[in-house]
C-alpha cells in the first residue's frame, strides 16, 4: 500500500515540510498542521462541492486551504509560540502545497464527505509518518538526540544529516526501500 501512495512519489509536494525535519518534534508539529489542513479542507470542499462550478472550484479550494493555514498559524502562535517561530515561514507554504490541492481536486471535489475525509486523513497520516521517518534518523545521526533528549551513545554530529540536504538523502533512501519492497522499478 505504501508503494502506491502519492506522498512517497511526489516528495516535491512536501518540500516545505521536509525543511523542518531536523528534529522529530518539529516534524510532528508540521505533520499535524499538514494533516489538519488536508483533512479540514477535504471536509469543507466535499460539503460544498455541489455549489461549486468548474470556474469557481479551484479558487474555492485555494481559499479554504489558505483560511485553514492562517487559522493553524494563529493557534500555533497562541499555544506554542516557540514552535510557531520555527515553523512560521514553512507553514505559510502549505497554502501552496500541491498535495493538499491535489487531494481537494481529485477526491474532495468529487466524492462524498466520508470518502473525502478518509482519503485526506490517510494521506495526511502518511505525510506525518514520512516526516517522522526522515526526522528521527536526522536527529539521531545529525544531533545525537531523539525528541530533544541526548542519547547516551552518540554518532557524533554528522553535519550532512544536520543540513537540509540530509533530509533529501534520507527521503531518497525511504523511497528506494519502499519501491524495492513493493516491486516497483526505481529507474
Per-residue pLDDT reduced to its tens digit, 54-95 = 888 888 888 998 999 999 999 999 999 999 998 888 887 777
Q: In whole angstroms, give the CA distance from residue 19 to residue 56.
A: 32
3-state secondary structure of 148: coil
Q: Phi first, then psi: what are they for 149, rounded to 5°?
A: -100, 125
Residues 16-37: what's their mean pLDDT?
A: 87
Q: Is pTM beyond 0.85 here?
A: no
> What pLDDT is attached to residue 185?
54
**Does the pLDDT value for residue 12 go beyond 70?**
no
Sign of CA dihedral 23, 29, 31, 34: negative
Residues 148, 91 contacting (CB under 8 angstroms):
no
> What pLDDT is attached to residue 162?
81
Report domain extents, the chain.
2-133
> What pLDDT is attached to residue 3?
47
Per-residue pLDDT reduced to its tens digit, 135-158 = 999 898 888 888 888 888 766 777
> What pLDDT is attached to residue 153?
75
- Averaged pLDDT of the chain: 83
pLDDT band for position 43 (cuts 50, 70, 90): very high
Which one is predicted more confidently, 139 or 14? 139
> What pLDDT is attached to residue 75?
94
Amino acid at each position: 500500500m505504501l508503494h502506491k501512495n502519492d506522498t512517497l512519489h511526489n516528495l516535491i509536494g512536501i518540500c516545505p515540510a521536509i525543511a523542518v525535519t531536523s528534529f522529530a518534534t518539529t516534524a510532528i508539529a508540521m505533520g499535524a498542521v499538514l494533516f489538519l489542513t488536508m483533512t479540514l479542507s477535504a471536509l469543507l470542499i466535499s460539503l460544498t462541492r455541489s455549489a461549486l462550478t468548474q470556474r469557481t472550484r479551484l479558487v474555492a479550494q485555494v481559499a479554504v486551504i489558505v483560511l485553514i493555514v492562517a487559522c493553524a498559524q494563529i493557534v500555533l502562535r497562541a499555544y506554542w509560540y516557540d514552535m510557531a517561530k520555527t515553523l512560521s515561514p514553512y507553514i505559510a507554504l502549505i497554502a501552496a502545497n500541491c498535495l493538499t490541492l491535489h487531494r481537494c481536486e481529485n477526491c474532495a471535489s468529487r466524492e462524498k464527505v466520508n470518502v473525502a475525509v478518509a482519503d485526506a486523513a490517510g494521506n495526511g497520516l502518511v505525510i506525518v509518518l514520512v516526516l517522522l521517518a526522515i526526522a528521527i534518523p536526522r536527529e539521531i545521526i545529525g544531533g545525537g538526540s531523539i525528541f530533544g533528549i541526548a542519547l547516551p551513545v552518540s554518532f557524533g554530529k554528522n553535519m550532512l544529516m544536520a543540513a537540509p540536504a540530509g533530509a533529501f538523502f534520507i527521503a531518497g533512501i525511504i523511497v528506494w526501500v519502499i519501491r524495492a519492497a513493493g516491486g516497483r522499478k526505481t529507474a
